[in-house]
Amino acid sequence: MSRVFLTWAVTHSVKEVQREDGVLLFIIAWTVTEIIRYSFYTFSLLNHLPYLIKWARYTLFIVLYPMGVTGELLTIYAALPAVRQSGMYSVTLPNKYNFSFDYYTFLILVMISYIP
């Protein structure tokens, strides 16, 4: 899922999840991934790519990818009770546009979409 979505629409919007372990998990995974990625790009542009950076770029994803996905799913799961109780970002019928949207159900569908 998009980092913007998870950061704004879940973590920022649902204050109850901001202290959950899942947030720490995905933040660490994202941060380490970006440090490795941009170090790799920088050293590649300088035509001096250390073996350790190359190794980290193509090996650590084995740990970082599942770590990030787990953190994201735990964060969304932790947000579900608060979203259901508050009706956050949901639109109910009847309304002017004859349209409804349930953010709680949307979050569940997002979680299901992680299944390969």
In one-letter notation, the amino acid at residue 103 is Y
Instruction: State the catalytic residue, choosing from 38, 41, 58, 65.
Output: 65
Query: Rounded to 5 degrees, what angle do the CA atoms 8, 109, 4 make?
Result: 20
Strand partners of residue 101: 91
Burial of residue 19 (CB within 10 Å: 0-12, 13-18, 19+) is exposed
| Residue 65 is a catalytic residue | yes
* Cα(60)–Cα(16) distance, integer angstroms: 31
* Cα(30)–Cα(112) distance, integer angstroms: 21
| Residue 20 is a catalytic residue | no
Instruction: State the catalytic residue, choosing from 41, 72, 77, 103.
Output: 72
* Residues annotated as part of the active site: 65, 72
